[in-house]
Amino acid sequence: MAGSFPEDVRYTEADEWVRREGEELVCGVTSFAAEQLGDGVYVQLPEVGAHFGEGDSFGEIESVKAVSDLYSPVAGEINAINEALDASPGLVNDDPYGKGWMLRLRPDSAEAYDLLLDAAAYERSTAERH
């Protein structure tokens, strides 16, 4: 799996990725999580305007194998959700860092992003679990 995680995003121990785009953060689940889950069949996302604390469950992803909670990587307010996942939940598997994004949020703290794992640290954490 070496080098399989994009360097331009940050990661959580709960297998979410986060990319900074201006003052917003775009979030989704990592390719490691998508691979572990199997083919996604349903994604439940929060309402725009909802606020979550770091580590709070904001929704669920259901696959052919399991149902898993989705966790907010940082505290913040949801600005947008990826409505394309309603019709095509498989985007999470096909393009987890692109078209499979889940939500955009405005973080409570600009520094929160910098506290997340970089690609090398996340890769080490997945190797320990694999």
pLDDT at 50: 98
For residue 82, the domain's CATH number is 2.40.50.100
Residues 6+ positions from 127 with CB-CB distance below 8 Å: 1
- The answer to whether residue 2 sits within a structural domain is no
In this model, does residue 2 exceed pLDDT 70?
no
Q: What domain count does the chain have? A: 1
Rounded distance, CA 47 to CA 122, Å? 29
Please, what is the average pLDDT of the chain?
93
Determine what percent of the chain is predicted with pLDDT higher than 70: 97
Task: Look at the pTM and tell me if it is higher than 0.95.
Answer: no
- The answer to whether residue 103 sits within a structural domain is yes
- Stretch 50-66: mean pLDDT: 94
pLDDT at 18: 97
Q: End-to-end CA distance of the chain: give it in Å, rounded.
A: 10
Q: Determine contact, residues 59/82, Cβ cutoff 8 Å.
A: no
**Structure-block tokens of residue 79:** 């600005």
- Structural domain range at position 16: 10-125
Residues 65-97 have pLDDT tens digits of: 889 999 999 999 999 999 999 999 999 999 999
